[in-house]
């Protein structure tokens, strides 16, 4: 009945939606159960209206951009998902500011401003998410973070009001912001633009792309970094002196060998910490990247728990959807 009302509301307001959608088809990692209703608003106002309608009618919902940070467990089913991908306008104002709506694709945003000769976004070109989620978690790479040039964010607060929040008033840190806990919905963002040297900008983008290709998984479905860390092996080494020595020796030996993966180190780490599996749930490139080899989520989830138990201080960056208190 509740969904019928919602469907009527969506029909009347010409907002597109799909019914009984399989997450294993639409999620980036290609796992998960069925969502009864998936909605694609195409403007900030319709996003606001749907959220307020759902809240007023006690309909549980979740917002997503590209799902590039979310592991949906196979058992997970949901009632209502709202996707922001059609709310994606990007605008350069007065050659000084960039305005990007929540569903804008970060690589498109980063390339657009970079190719217009503005610096500070080059490192972000390879992060395959939406601007909204990237602000939520202060996404970043290769020396650039989304918050570097951020001026303000328009959010939809828990009371259904749109508010502009300035960077100085936002609590943020490495891959984290207050928005993750206060349930604000990011609607639109404003950044300052700084002119740079176009050929240096292009060079940096080229280097970032080459480096990503060499060091990160790009064949199997994956979600980037599993834990919020620059070096998972060092984090593991913090809790075990013998492993620390082994890691030091391996890295010293391999420094001059240009390896394109960490196969040997991964094998050794798994043996050392007794991590077993039938189908390797992580990338050859790094243990800090889960991959989908088409065998379901169970082994992937067990692997995450195994790693976390080695050093409980490590913070999960990927979100596990379908269980309580994953971190
Ligand atoms: C190959 C690969 C490489 C990656 N490399 C990097 C990297 O270098 N650096 C990095 O930081 N990340 C990286 N990531 C992770 C991911 O791309 C980023 O976290 C990205 O910001 C997630 O965007 P998304 O739209 O896919 O978010 P989603 O996965 O759709 O959502 C993530 C979270 O944000 C919430 N959310 C989504 N939209 C909104 C909104 N508008 N308002 C409020 N909450 C919202 C969701 O509810 C969810 O909790 C990588 C991922 C992949 C697959």
Q: How many CB atoms lie within 10 A of CB 293?
A: 14
Q: With a 6 A CB cut-off, is 269 part of the ligand 1 pocket? A: no
pLDDT in tens, 61-82: 999 999 999 999 998 999 999 9
Share of the chain above pLDDT 70, in %: 96
User: How far is the centre of ligand 1, averaged over its atoms, from the C-alpha of 209 (Å)?
Assistant: 19
Q: Residue with the nearest Cα to atom 43 of ligand 1?
A: 185
* Residue 117 Cβ contacting ligand 1 at under 6 Å: no
Collapsing DSSP to helix, strand or coil, 168 comes out as helix
The count of other CB atoms within 10 Å of the CB of residue 164 is 13
Distance between CA atoms of 111 and 17, rounded to whole angstroms? 30
In Å, how far from its chain's centre is CA 179? Answer: 14
The residue whose CB lies within 8 Å of the most ligand 1 atoms, and thus the one to mutate among 133, 174, 178, 217, is 133
Between the CA of 258 and the centroid of ligand 1 the distance, in Å, is 30
pLDDT at residue number 327: 40
Q: Is 146 in the pocket of ligand 1 (CB under 6 A)?
A: no
List b or e across 82-109, with b for residues whose CB sees 16 or more CB atoms inside 10 angstroms: bbbbebbeeebeeeeebbbbbbbbbeeb
Structure tokens at 75: 């058992």
For 2-83, the fitting CATH number among 3.40.50.10140, 3.40.50.970, 3.40.50.300, 3.30.43.10 is: 3.30.43.10
Q: Whose CA is nearest to atom 3 of ligand 1?
A: 224
What's the mean per-residue pLDDT of the chain?
94
Cα separations in angstroms, 318 against 137, 139, 166, 226: 10, 12, 26, 5
C-alpha 14 chain-centroid distance = 29
Domain range list for the chain: 2-83, 90-213, 217-321
Asked whether 84 lines ligand 1 (CB < 6 A), one says: yes
* Distance separating alpha carbons of residues 242 and 248, to the nearest angstrom: 10
Topology (CATH level 3) of domain 90-213 = 3.30.465
Amino acid 274: pLDDT: 97
For residues 1 and 182, which has the higher predicted lDDT (pLDDT)?
182
pLDDT of residue 325: 39
Based on C-alpha coordinates, what's the Rg of the chain?
21
Give the whole-angstrom CA distance, residue 162 versus residue 303.
40
Q: Is the CB of 102 under 6 A from ligand 1?
A: yes
């Amino acid at each position: 009945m509740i969904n019928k009302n919602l469907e009527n509301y969506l029909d009347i307001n010409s907002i597109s939606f799909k019914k009984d959608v399989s997450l294993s088809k639409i999620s980036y990692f290609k796992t998960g159960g069925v969502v009864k209703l998936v909605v694609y608003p195409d403007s900030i106002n319709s996003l606001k209206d749907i959220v307020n309608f759902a809240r007023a009618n006690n309909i549980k919902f979740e917002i997503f951009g590209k799902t590039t940070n979310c592991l949906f467990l196979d058992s997970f089913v949901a009632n209502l998902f709202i996707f922001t991908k059609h709310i994606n306008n990007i605008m350069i104002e007065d050659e000084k500011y960039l305005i990007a709506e929540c569903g804008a694709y970060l690589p498109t945003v980063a390339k657009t401003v970079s190719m217009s000769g503005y610096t500070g976004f080059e490192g972000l070109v390879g992060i395959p998410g939406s601007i909204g989620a990237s602000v939520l978690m202060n996404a970043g790479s290769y020396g650039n973070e989304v918050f570097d040039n951020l001026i303000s964010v328009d959010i939809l607060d828990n009371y259904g009001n749109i508010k502009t929040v300035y960077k100085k008033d936002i609590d943020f840190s490495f891959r984290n912001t207050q928005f993750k806990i206060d349930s604000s919905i990011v609607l639109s963002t404003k950044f300052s633009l700084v002119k740079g040297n176009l050929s240096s900008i292009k060079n940096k983008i080229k280097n970032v792309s080459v480096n990503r290709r060499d060091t990160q998984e790009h064949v199997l479905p994956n979600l980037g970094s599993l834990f919020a860390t620059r070096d998972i092996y060092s984090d593991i080494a913090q809790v075990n002196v013998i492993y620390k020595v082994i890691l030091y020796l391996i890295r010293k030996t391999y420094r001059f060998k240009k390896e394109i993966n960490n196969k040997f180190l991964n094998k050794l780490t798994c043996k050392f910490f007794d991590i077993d599996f039938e189908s390797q749930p992580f990338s050859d490139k790094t243990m800090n990247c889960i991959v989908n080899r088409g065998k379901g989520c169970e082994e992937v989830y067990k692997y995450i728990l195994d790693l976390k138990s080695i050093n409980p201080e490590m913070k999960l960056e990927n979100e596990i959807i379908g269980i309580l208190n994953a971190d």
